[in-house]
Structure 1
Amino acid sequence: MKKQLTNIILAGAAPDTGNHGVTALALSLLSALDKRGLQQATVLDNGGSMRLGELLSLHYRTLALKPGKRFYQPNNMHQVRMRQMFGLPSPILSAIKNADAVLDVSGGDSFTDMYGPARFEQITVPKLMAIDSGVPLILLPQTYGPYQFTKTRRIARKILKAAHLAYARDEDSYKNLQTLLGDDFDPQKHRLGVDLAFGLPCVGGDNTPDDLPVGINVSGLLWHDAAAATEQFGLKADYKQSLIQFALKILEDTNKDILLVPHVRPSGGSECDLVASRAFKLAIPSEYRDRIQIEENANSPELLKGTISNTCWFTGARMHATIAALSTGVPVCNMAYSMKAKGVFASCGQQEQVFDLRKNSTDQVVSALFASFNQRRKTKAELAFSLSNAKRVWVQQMNDISYALDEPKEKLEVVYA
């Protein structure tokens, strides 16, 4: 019999960042493994001392493993890594050694050097600590790359080669994984899956028909310092003007109201969607503002998913805001600023609903968004058909992750989401 994961370390999905997309990954995994017999989970976060946490009545403990320059702090990841290299004790290292496996999701899309060397190091340190502790490393469904530099490609290749299991969350990332590994690619452990958030519990949604508002996620990452975002991601379209002009077309040409759904909240700091949503509303002429509402009370991933499920059509640049729509059958398009979106949408046959801000002008993005909105009934029917397959893949991958430490000797009993 396979050994079931009953004591795990979860890295790359800290629930204390204010980013509900990242929290959604933690909640999706813990709720799935809880149904499959998980007994103890330790989540690496950014807090202080060890403490208890709770998501949707799921109990876990947290351990801080923080980046930054305060090397003297015992939970600074650079100090912990140094202690490991010199054979010195650490509570985090002890927790890793006593776990059945380290499960790492890299925030879904951060196992890349696209966000700079400091972020890459922050993402890779827990993986390297697991490998060097001799503890099985399971890379949960995520994006791999892009890797621009020889050093980061080498480190990523080392990690992927040493991993016990590594799931790509879409076909594009799976191909990247194959290319990066070359002859070391092993289809038994390098697998294609779907994003964890497809299994996120949904609270409060009933997805009733077409009197529902248009949903928009305003990304604080792209809104607050538009010039920096344009330079960092190579945007061709003006993100702010794309959203404003599209919203005006909805307000002027239809009777639809607009619901703004922030997905990164105040603790998200300079990337806060709530602040960006308020600024967006003020950028709309005053005569239309009473038709724009901001969802300020849904303060957890499952509540946000329920809110998004109660829109007639949805758009946003935040990946997990749009996955919340995809996974509840809401017609949705993604305003992409990287490669990650198209592959995830393709897992539901919706790759044509990704509009790349790097390749299209502002006018082209606005036209594409409005065309997508107008064909929402057709898209909804297509999505209803393709979504069932994505959810079947999600269930199978969670079964396989749960029983991950030995090769199967008999067919596993399927546990449904």
Structure 2
Amino acid sequence: MNNVVILGIKLDSANRGVNALGIGAISALNENFNYSNYNIVYISKNKMFKKQKITVNNNEINVNSYGFNPVDFIYSLLDLLLVNFMGSQPKSELSRLLLNSQVIFDVNEGDSFSDIYGYKRIIRHSLDSYAAILSKNKLVFLPQTIGPFNTKIGRFLAKKILKNLSSIYVRDNRGIKYLEKWGIPYKLGIDMATFMFPEKTEFEVDKNTVGLNISGLLYYLDIQNYGNLKYTEFQYYKEFSLKLIDRLLSNGYNVLLIPHTYSVEFPIKEDDLRAIKDIVAEIQHENLRYVSKDYNAQQLKYIISKTEFFMGARMHSCIAGLSTSVPTVGLAYSYKFKGTFDMFDQGNSVVDIRELTQDNISEAINDIMAHIQKKNDTREKLKKFNEDKGLKIEL
């Protein structure tokens, strides 16, 4: 049997960061184990199934993607309890998938094994993790952010699940305190999106181009569904973005605006491309371009890799730059940026945009311009780091 199930990822989300995690996870697993049958399982409103293909180092890999609604997961939990305690045959499709898997891997969307996004998110990810535990197969948490857990129910669910894992990999140091407090062994590993190969596309990036990812989430302050984000922390992000672009253009750079969470056909609320179009309409400069087509995560990584310097407010847009040795500054909206940049030995290349005020916008931009001046040295450091990167996964 050579089946594996991967939880907490998708390959066709408007959020290219989630897709990058999925493609990177499969790429790393293929490098380590060369499994023959990959099954992605995620929670969706409606039950669905689709066959998908991804390209890993010029080789096509077939992936089965299963969407189950929350009721399916609850039914599977009950079904697996009966299998364990009554010896009955599994009745649900989800139960059979989990039981027939050699190993189950969970990515938890990179940072969703936490209660900072509210109860719904931690309960949702606990459902699939606990179903995996009941299957009695090995459950491995691939590199991700663990915590924080600020509520009693969050800590209870986390401790219950983490103590039943076969292996756990963390991508930053923030959650280690929980693991050490609860006596849970762990290993450090870099973000899974690092292992996603770029896919060449026809988009031409001009010389002397600085790439900039704009977050529609922060630009439009559409943060009511993100429990840890506060309006007051990002009210100057739009002004900062406009002034940063103006400064770059004034210094003779070509500026390429790159969306990373967007849909060309059906723009979403926090759509990066919608925000970018608003910016381009306002600034109107011949050296200001933007990515407008519906590129996938691998193609966007290729485009980012061709820039001289990159800045991003979406973390996985930054990982696309860092992992292809592009000098990159993270425009951080949460603590997870620092931990991820530390993994690349670039912890000093993070600007915390939560601390922006009208008085310090110029200072933040000056800091970024100083990083641009050092881009050649930074590129060489990243090249050396990326030559040695790899992830040996132990089950």
Report 1:294-373 matches (<5 A). Answer: 294-297=290-293, 299-373=295-369
Structure 1 residues 170-223: Cα deviation after superposition (integer angstroms, max 9, x where no partner):
2x23xx23434425232xxx10111111111012389x9993322111112212
Query: Which residue pairs with 1:63 in the alignment?
Result: 66
> How far apart, in 2, do the equivalents of 1:127 and 1:231 lie?
22
Query: Which residue pairs with 1:271 in the alignment?
Result: 270
Is contact 1:199-1:391 (8 Å) kept?
no
Alpha-carbon distance, 1:113 to partner: 1.1
> How far apart, in 1, do the equivalents of 2:208 and 2:201 lie?
12
Structure 1 residues 262-321: Cα deviation after superposition (integer angstroms, max 9, x where no partner):
111226722221222212223x334x2x33222123511111011011112211211100
Is contact 1:233-1:358 (8 Å) kept?
no
Query: Which residue pairs with 2:238 in the alignment?
Result: 240
> How far apart, in 1, do the equivalents of 2:368 and 2:157 lie?
40
Is contact 1:348-1:383 (8 Å) kept?
no
User: SS where residue 44 of structure 1 aligns?
Assistant: strand
Change (3 A) 1:236 1:265: closer
Is contact 1:257-1:291 (8 Å) kept?
yes
Q: Which of 20, 23, 26 is the aligned partner of 1:24?
A: 20
Alpha-carbon distance, 1:115 to partner: 1.1
Letter in 1 for 2:62: H
2:195 maps to 1:192: no
Q: Going by fraction, where is helix more abundant, 1 or 2?
A: 1
Percent identity of equivalent pairs: 26
Change (3 A) 1:13 1:41: same
> How far apart, in 1, do the equivalents of 2:201 and 2:360 lie?
32
Alpha-carbon distance, 1:161 to partner: 1.4
User: SS where residue 127 of structure 1 aligns?
Assistant: helix
Letter in 2 for 1:65: F
> How far apart, in 2, do the equivalents of 1:268 and 1:184 lie?
45
Query: Which residue pairs with 1:250 in the alignment?
Result: 248
> How far apart, in 1, do the equivalents of 2:164 and 2:68 lie?
22
Of the structure 1 ranges 90-99 and 29-38, higher mean CA displacement relative to structure 2 is found in 29-38
Is contact 1:259-1:292 (8 Å) kept?
yes
Alpha-carbon distance, 1:168 to partner: 0.5
Alpha-carbon distance, 1:338 to partner: 1.1
Change (3 A) 1:157 1:181: farther
> How far apart, in 2, do the equivalents of 1:114 and 1:231 lie?
6
Of the structure 1 ranges 128-137 and 231-240, higher mean CA displacement relative to structure 2 is found in 231-240
Query: Which residue pairs with 2:257 in the alignment?
Result: 260
Query: Which residue pairs with 2:86 in the alignment?
Result: none
> How far apart, in 2, do the equivalents of 1:391 and 1:361 lie?
39
Query: Which residue pairs with 2:87 in the alignment?
Result: none
> How far apart, in 2, do the equivalents of 1:185 and 1:293 lie?
48
User: SS where residue 107 of structure 1 aligns?
Assistant: helix
Change (3 A) 1:389 1:11: same
Query: Which residue pairs with 2:101 in the alignment?
Result: 99
> How far apart, in 1, do the equivalents of 2:301 and 2:322 lie?
10
Alpha-carbon distance, 1:322 to partner: 0.6
> How far apart, in 1, do the equivalents of 2:312 and 2:274 lie?
15
Letter in 1 for 2:125: I
Alpha-carbon distance, 1:37 to partner: 1.8
Letter in 2 for 1:44: V
> How far apart, in 2, do the equivalents of 1:195 and 1:94 lie?
30
2:283 maps to 1:285: yes
2:393 maps to 1:400: yes
User: SS where residue 9 of structure 2 aligns?
Assistant: coil
Report 1:406-417 matches (<5 A). Answer: none
User: SS where residue 54 of structure 1 aligns?
Assistant: strand
Of the structure 1 ranges 80-89 and 309-318, higher mean CA displacement relative to structure 2 is found in 80-89
Letter in 2 for 1:61: N
Number of aligned residue pairs? 377
> How far apart, in 2, do the equivalents of 1:369 and 1:349 lie?
22
> How far apart, in 1, do the equivalents of 2:104 and 2:365 lie?
40
> How far apart, in 2, do the equivalents of 1:277 and 1:78 lie?
41
Structure 1 residues 138-157: Cα deviation after superposition (integer angstroms, max 9, x where no partner):
10100111111011012112
- Contiguous gaps of at least 5 residues in structure 1: 405-417
Is contact 1:298-1:307 (8 Å) kept?
no
Report 1:18-97 matches (<5 A). Answer: 18-35=14-31, 36-45=33-42, 46=44, 48-56=47-55, 57-67=60-70, 71=71, 76-85=72-81, 89-97=91-99
Structure 1 residues 2-53: Cα deviation after superposition (integer angstroms, max 9, x where no partner):
xxx9321011111132111111111112223334421111011446433311
Query: Which residue pairs with 1:211 in the alignment?
Result: 207
Letter in 2 for 1:256: Y
Of the structure 1 ranges 270-279 and 19-28, higher mean CA displacement relative to structure 2 is found in 270-279
> RCO greater where, 1 or 2, for CA within 8 Å and sep 6 or more?
1
Change (3 A) 1:390 1:183: farther
